[in-house]
Structure 1
Amino acid sequence: MLSVIIRTHNGENVLLDVLRPLVAAAAEGVVRDVVFLDIGSNDGTPQIADAAGATFLLAKNTSNQTTEALKAAHRGQWMMLLDQTTVLSPGWLDETLSFVERQERVKTARGRLSAVYRPEHEPEAGSADVRRRMVILAANRLMSLAKLSQGIVMRRADFTGARPPIIDWTAPDPSVRLPNLLRLRSRTHLAQPMEPLEKAEAAEHEQGALSRAAL
């Protein structure tokens, strides 16, 4: 059902946290393939992709980055777009499946929706974090502008329509304009970089789990 594209750039410290919520979905056959669309990593990101059974794709041609990624992530009719810091919250899978199933039953063009998750913030978060969340939600509502860091779910067919969405994957905080944008109740938060020892221990555990799930 879902093909996942994750924008990566020197993300070895955060990617295991990002991949963890996808494991159960892959085991259930919901996540069919995962692509790391990389914009020039020089760390262990390719090794994490290999251990997780994901495709590592180095985006060489700026104008065709999305096209290249879609060719590599070819198994799902629905696309999930994530940033390397985007961690899906518990409950994302059930709500995403419900959203996709509802949309599969919709026949009119007006009913064709794309979806984003709500950005999370903790009650004790600083004012800058709260402002960031409010700006993102206002952009969702007023301009149908979705941030890659929120997590985006959309039909593959929407990329091949008359006016396909344009994504600058190399931007510091990529966003895309998606008419008929729906905000899901599930949330995402930003991955926290791990210390070297913690990262090594997590890698040993998570890479084994991801390999068994055959992403």
Structure 2
Amino acid sequence: MSTSAASQRPLAGTYRTSAGAEAPALDRLSVVVPTLQAGTVLSGTLEALQPGAPGQVIVVDGGSRDSTPQIAEQAGAQLIAAERGRGGQLAAGARAADGDWLLFLHADTRLTADWPLAVQDFIAQTGEGWRAGWFRLAFDDRSSAARRVAGLANWRSRRLGLPYGDQGLVIPRSFYQALGGYGRQPLMEDVELVRRIGRRRLVELPAMAVTSAERYRRDGWLRRPATNLTLLTLYFLGVPPTLLARLYR
């Protein structure tokens, strides 16, 4: 299997995994965060990345008019502009990345403090293999409804191989490029990519992605999951993502 030129670079350092094996440090990792009017959540997302000291953090903004660009720059992230639309923004961030590994993360999702070791172990165990990792979902809400919805999402990810974008995605850049990357579509860009990855090549990582429950609290803990399931079903039936995006709003 061919590797990218970037994977031939010497590593800046190594660490020892929980299993005791040497593995590359996270300076090989580029984090891509698409944003739009994310000023209220972005700082927490970027702060949660700091313990892992990723080699690159790219914030791809789709035209925010709030404090999003300033927060990104103050955090030391690389800020680039792209046309609004999460699929296109994610693709633009991947093109700007120089790491051998990519972590795609939503702007309202914070990784728990154990994420660096989880990703380091995954990189060490995967090597040059073609696999992708996802994080267990949790919400920033202590209600039993939030726990139930998160539990169903994690079941869907394990059994059906359909983790959503709010669960993050860790993938070798060479694998991502071989798959053709994210499509320029306004919705279901995450589902479309993980279907190409395939369930057998998706790995659950032992860390949590804590995502905002704002939409669920606004729409209801029954109505929002039902809407998401309906949209997913329509997508599998061939309804265009452009139409689904209008229904999602």
Question: TM exceeds 0.5?
Answer: yes
* CA displacement, residues 102-126 of structure 1 (integer Å, 9 cap, x when unaligned): 111x5xxxx5211011012589423
Q: 1:187 to 1:173 in 2, by over 3 A?
A: farther
The residue matched to 2:66 in structure 1 has which SS?
Answer: coil
Match in the other structure for 1:40:
63
Task: Give the aligned residue type for 2:208.
Answer: R
Q: Cα distance, 1:189 vs. partner?
A: 0.8
Query: Higher mean Cα deviation, 33-42 or 85-94?
Result: 33-42
Runs of 4+ in 1 over 6 A off after TM superposition: none
Q: Cα distance, 1:81 vs. partner?
A: 0.6
Task: Give the aligned residue type for 1:102.
Answer: Q
Superposed, 1:91-130 pairs within 5 Å as: 91-104=114-127, 112-121=130-139, 124-127=142-145, 129-130=146-147
Percent of aligned positions with the same letter in both sequences?
A: 24
Would the aligned equivalents of 1:5 and 1:79 in 2 still touch at CA under 8 Å?
A: yes
The residue matched to 1:120 in structure 2 has which SS?
Answer: strand
Query: Higher mean Cα deviation, 114-123 or 10-19?
Result: 114-123
Structure 2, gaps ≥5 residues long: 1-27, 215-249
RMSD value over aligned CA atoms? Answer: 2.7
Superposed, 1:38-117 pairs within 5 Å as: 38-60=61-83, 64-74=88-98, 76-104=99-127, 112-117=130-135
Equivalent residue for 1:3, pick from 10, 23, 30: 30
Q: Which structure shows the higher strand fraction?
A: 1
Would the aligned equivalents of 2:109 and 2:211 in 1 still touch at CA under 8 Å?
A: yes
What TM-score results when the alignment is normalised by the length of structure 2? Answer: 0.64
Q: 1:169 to 1:14 in 2, by over 3 A?
A: farther
* CA displacement, residues 92-143 of structure 1 (integer Å, 9 cap, x when unaligned): 1112101101111x5xxxx52110110125894232x234313322331233
Would the aligned equivalents of 1:167 and 1:174 in 2 still touch at CA under 8 Å?
A: no
Would the aligned equivalents of 1:7 and 1:169 in 2 still touch at CA under 8 Å?
A: no
Structure 1, gaps ≥5 residues long: 194-215
**Larger of the two Rg values belongs to structure:** 2
Q: What is the CA–CA distance in structure 2 between the aligned matches of 1:123 and 1:43, rounded to whole Å?
A: 25
Q: What is the CA–CA distance in structure 2 between the aligned matches of 1:81 and 1:169, rounded to whole Å?
A: 16
The residue matched to 1:3 in structure 2 has which SS?
Answer: strand
